[in-house]
Amino acid sequence: MTGSVLLWLRQDLRLHDQPALIAAAHMGAVIPVYVLDDEAPGRWRMGGAQRWWLHHSLASLAAALEAKGSRLILKRGEVVAELEKLATETGASEIHAIRHYEPWWVKAEAALGDRLHLHDGNHLAPLRDITTGSGGQYKVYSAFWRALNERMPPPDDLPVPRNIPAPDTWPESEKLADWDLLPAKPDWAKSFAVDWAPGEADALRKADDFVDEVVDYEARRDFPNIEATSRLSPHLHFGEISPATVWHKLDRARNADKFRKEMAWRDFAASLTLAMPRYGYRNGRPAFDALAWRNSAHDLKAWQQGRTGYPIVDAGMRQLWATGWMHNRVRMIAASFLVKHLLIDWRAGERWFWDTLVDADYGNNSVNWQWVAGTGVDSNMWGRIMAPLVQSEKFDAGGYIREWVPELADVPDAAIHDPEAAGMRPQSYPAKIIGHREARERALAAGAAIR
């Protein structure tokens, strides 16, 4: 087999706006390959929810490639070794891939040396080019956004190739079913398919629906009762749609500026972890290394299971378990509750989200948790403690609570946000794990102790 080129796929599982595919197709016969490497990411090995998504996304991509006369080759093992072995077997002279910024992928890309040809395409702009006057990565979002926005719009997205040149013979591929990415019995992900259809086709459809239907995103996005968010986050994480494609679709939407800034936050998070690769487990502000976190397995479990006695928190945590996703405003409330009310290390929450979110992303997960916790370089102050009961009422979460906490279905509107205070807490629903005032005073004291 000669004249072949490997197309190394990771979190870029699409054919539309795929610059690495276009470049590979110009070089010769293309062999698309996905390598499942559970060792290189270390503690960021894909969690259970992500693995469910990956299974279905790979199946969707394989079908799309077959429709173009191509195939998806699956390999499992240490990614650099597997790619080098496949290149030797096929006689591939080059490997083409879209650049990634997670620390384990940066390391793998460097190890592949000159045979690897990298292309930008998973962010709005090449992140290594969005730098401060001294050449470093930005650590404050507002400054990053100004620098990024000067380079917008992104280049026009690339069309799907009419055909993908195939090799005379194909290398052997592992079978997707043998990877056991789907849950064993009992199937905790059985309801995921109600909310999600992984793959490029649904990503493009969902983007079109959002753009055509979005009305005042900025004002409505914080209300969990309203379907006003795009739900594109897992599709963007797995690269089933490119940020450039979404950006250009937004040209026909009204009031798109806020959503574009949210997309820029995704780029900022990746840029920040490029500058600080250990951000996923090290405080951005070293002073917080001395904070006296509580080690309470009981409280952590209550939070994970949605049994804290705070309806808005519990609704979010149960939505997360059932669907692999949680409304963004509720994510902030639930995260703040774990860190400030329960005084449990943000890294315990990051671990839970990593395993249960279909859109778990190293940059977003790390930066968002540290933003809420106040431990990050660009984050809320420690003393900013979200009041979940106030937030619930402010953002009209009654219907959302009833949907996800059925024990409270019959609680009247006036009491739904805090049934315990109203004397209407059903026996089947737990009492508050801690009072808001008590939790606030404890958190403030813990913060004061490290000043």
SS3 75: strand
Asked if 1-121 and 286-448 have one fold, the answer is no
Which one of the listed residues 369, 371, 382, 404 is annotated catalytic? 369
What is the per-residue pLDDT for 215? 72
On whether the CB atoms of residues 362 and 44 are closer than 8 A, the answer is yes
Contacts of 398 (CB under 8 A, 6+ apart): 225, 413, 416, 417
Yes or no: say if 79 and 45 are a contact pair by the CB < 8 Å rule. Answer: no
Q: How far apart are the C-alpha atoms of 8 and 6, rounded to whole Å?
A: 6
DSSP conformational letter for 264: H
Rounded Cα gap, residues 79 and 83, in angstroms = 6
Annotated domain spans of the chain: 1-121, 123-156+200-275, 286-448
Which DSSP symbol is given to 58? H
Residue linked to tokens 């405080």: 283
Does the active-site annotation cover 404?
no
Nearest to 365 by CA among 147, 143, 50: 50
Work out whether the CA dihedral 154, 103, 179, 48 comes out positive or negative: negative
| C-alpha–C-alpha distance, residues 425 and 290, integer Å | 38
Catalytic residue (one of 52, 105, 303, 346): 346
**Single-letter code of the amino acid located at 388:** P
Burial category of 185 from C-beta neighbours within 10 Å (exposed 0-12, middle 13-18, buried 19 and up): exposed
In the block, tokens 């949680």 appear at 326
Whether omega for the bond prior to residue 234 falls within 30 degrees of 0, making it cis, is no
CA distance 124 to 25: 23
- Nearest Cα neighbor of 130 from 141, 118, 116 is 141
Residues 6+ apart with CB under 8 A from 134: none
Choosing from 78, 82, 174, 262, the catalytic residue is: 262
Compute the distance between CA of residue 222 and CA of residue 160 in angstroms, rounded to an integer: 35
Give 66's contacts (C-beta < 8 A, 6+ positions apart): none
Helix (H, G, I), strand (E, B) or coil at 251: helix
Burial 264-277 (b: 16+ CB within 10 A, else e): bbbbbbbbbbbebb
CA-closest candidate to residue 22, choices 122, 73, 96: 96
pLDDT score of 2: 47
Match domain 123-156+200-275 to its CATH number in 3.30.1950.10, 1.10.238.10, 3.20.20.70, 1.25.40.80. Answer: 1.25.40.80
Mean pLDDT by runs of 10 across the 451 residues of the chain is 85 98 96 98 97 98 98 98 98 97 98 97 97 95 97 96 95 98 90 97 97 85 94 98 97 89 98 97 97 98 98 98 97 98 98 98 97 95 96 98 97 97 98 98 97 83
Catalytic member of 44, 293, 393, 420: 293
328 is catalytic: yes
Residue 221 and residue 228 in contact, taking contact as beta carbons nearer than 8 Å: yes
262 is catalytic: yes
What CATH number labels 1-121?
3.40.50.620
**Cross-strand pairs, 8:** 33, 97
For position 1, what pLDDT does the model report? 39
225 catalytically annotated: no
Annotated catalytic residue within 328, 393, 403, 407: 328
pLDDT at 137: 96
Q: Is 8 a catalytic residue?
A: no
Determine the CATH number of domain 286-448. Answer: 1.10.579.10
Q: State the amino acid at position 403 in one-letter form.
A: E
Query: Coil, strand, or helix at residue 42?
Result: helix
Task: Please classify residue 420 by burial: count the beta carbons closer than 10 Å to its beta carbon, then call 0-12 exposed, 13-18 middle and 19+ buried.
Answer: middle
293 is a catalytic site residue: yes
Distance between CA atoms of 447 and 105, rounded to whole angstroms?
35
pLDDT at res. 213: 82
CA distance 323 to 317: 10
Query: What pLDDT does residue 8 have?
Result: 98
Q: Please spell the DSSP secondary structure of 294-360, one letter per residue.
A: ---HHHHHHHHHT-SS-HHHHHHHHHHHHHS---HHHHHHHHHIIIIIS---HHHHHHHHHHH-TT-
List 105, 196, 247, 265, catalytic entry: 265
Rounded to an integer, what distance in angstroms lies between the CA atom of residue 2 and that of residue 85? 15
CA angle at 148 for the pair 236 and 224, rounded to the nearest 5°: 45
Q: Residue 250 in contact with residue 260, Cβ under 8 Å?
A: yes
Mean pLDDT over the full length of the chain: 96
Q: Quote the CA–CA distance of 343 and 444 in Å, as a whole number.
A: 10
Which has the closest alpha carbon to 283: 223, 350, 233?
Answer: 350
In angstroms, the CA 360 to CA 47 distance is 8
Give the pLDDT confidence of 317-328 residue by residue, as tens digits.
Answer: 999 999 999 999
Q: Which residue bears the tokens 């984050």?
A: 379
Gap between the terminal Cα atoms of the chain: 65
pLDDT of residue 80: 98
Write the pLDDT tens digit of every residue in 126-146: 999 999 999 999 999 999 999
